[in-house]
């Protein structure tokens, strides 16, 4: 996940200037290169250092929590992997640039990247796994 995220960001960084926007699938998808110094959806802008430390601590906690869940489902393991891969991709950006590179723009939605999508989908998989486990 982190590798695919970094490759996608490198491709967009090589093709666009910050603030530049290109329609890919009008009107559904645009590539708009953006610096995100906050967390998801631009919240806490300007707090990149604090956000980076918090994200790293959350990733470490998730690894240790998951290790204690020896009976965890495949769905939960996939979810955890997606969250950790997405977090790693965004942490690499913060370490390298001091911000996260965002570039995917959908109508009525903040600009995001592949790592963000992995984190959201991974969280949904973990939630689904938890719901499924409680129904058994």
Residues labelled as active-site residues = 102, 116
Q: Cis ω on the peptide bond leading into residue 92 (within 30° of 0)?
A: no
Q: Which of 116, 90, 109, 103 is nearest to 24 (CA)?
A: 103
Rg (CA), the chain: 16
The crossing angle, in degrees rounded to 10, of helices 114-135 and 2-15 is: 150
- Collapsing DSSP states into helix, strand and coil, what is residue 25? strand
Q: Are strands 29-36 and 100-105 parallel, antiparallel or unpaired?
A: antiparallel
């Amino acid at each position: 996940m982190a590798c695919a995220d970094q490759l996608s960001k490198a491709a967009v960084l090589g093709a666009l200037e910050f603030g530049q926007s290109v329609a890919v699938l009008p009107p559904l998808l645009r590539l708009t290169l953006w610096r995100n110094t906050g967390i998801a959806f631009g919240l806490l802008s300007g707090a990149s250092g604090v956000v980076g430390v918090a994200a790293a601590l959350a990733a470490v906690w998730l690894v240790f929590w998951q290790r204690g869940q020896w009976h965890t489902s495949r769905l939960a393991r996939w979810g955890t992997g997606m969250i950790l891969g997405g977090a790693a991709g965004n942490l690499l950006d913060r370490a390298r640039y001091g911000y996260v590179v965002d570039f995917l723009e959908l109508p009525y939605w903040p600009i995001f990247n592949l790592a963000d999508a992995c984190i959201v989908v991974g969280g949904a998989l973990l939630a689904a796994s938890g719901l499924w486990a409680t129904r058994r």
